[in-house]
Amino acid sequence: MTKTTVSHPALSLAGRLRAGDQVVGGWFCPPEAHFAEAVARTPLSPIVLDVQHGLHDIASIIACVATIAGAGKPTLVRVAVGDFALASRALDVGAVGVIAPMIDTADQARAFVEQMKYPPRGRRSWGAGRAMAVLGDVEPATYLAEANDRTLALAMIETREAVAAIDEILAVEGLDGVFVGPNDLSIALTDGDRADTRDPILDAALERIVAAARGAGKIAGIFGGPAERAKAFRAKGFSFVTVGFDSMYVAAGVAALLDEMGEGTAGTDPAAARTSY
């Protein structure tokens, strides 16, 4: 019998979310470990590294996961579409969860889970030495016994097909929950006409997703973007909401400093910060 040990605060994230805790995470695209550490030293937790639309590779993931862990925070990684090999590698270097984009079917969710969970839930290959070191020198037997429960496999819901199949997706054994991409979902629901997370066309789909997750006893998360949207999404019942992203944090911080100095910042809107991601 292995000794149950939560050696790092990051290892408690999955249990907290399953218990219904609400968390506000950060979103981080550039491959800059020191910047990632600065974000992790704010109240935001967890920090999501974006591979799909960001600039990360395995080297920057390794570096950023370590600095985020050094700040006492958990890391999740949003991989590129279908890159389930990177999903398991992200766990091997100390991430405690992966968000997989464009999951439209239960079969796609199963393929994702296979790479995320050890047998009997999946087929994840053993190679978690870096994770054990980063997360507090966890013993191999303990890591193996606890990894399936302490790591999160979250499927992104971003299309009409995914919303229609939400119950089947959430029924996949080993899938811990879903994470909505509201920009892509709004594009899908408007047949490519607009990307607008404020569009009322999203409301029914978001309500259906939250209700399905609750019914399945699983996690419902969403990319929040600007603070007012993150707040609105939380009010809809999402327990895991991210707010802002890297360049928005810088813009908001500079605006706050200038306001404190009494310098005029009229016409500037930190929430409108843009990146090429």
State the first-to-last Cα distance of the chain, in angstroms, to the nearest integer. 46
Structure tokens at 79: 């991989």
Neighbours of 46 (CB within 10 A): 24
Catalytic residue from among 8, 34, 53, 56: 53
Q: Please state the separation of Cα 30 from the chain's center in Å.
A: 16
Instruction: Give yes or no: 53 in active site.
Output: yes
In the block, residue with structure tokens 């100390």: 94
The DSSP symbol for 220 reads: E
Q: Is 170 exposed, middle or buried (0-12, 13-18, 19+ CB in 10 A)?
A: buried
Contact at 8 Å (CB) between 117 and 124?
Answer: yes
Q: Which residues does the annotation mark as catalytic?
A: 53
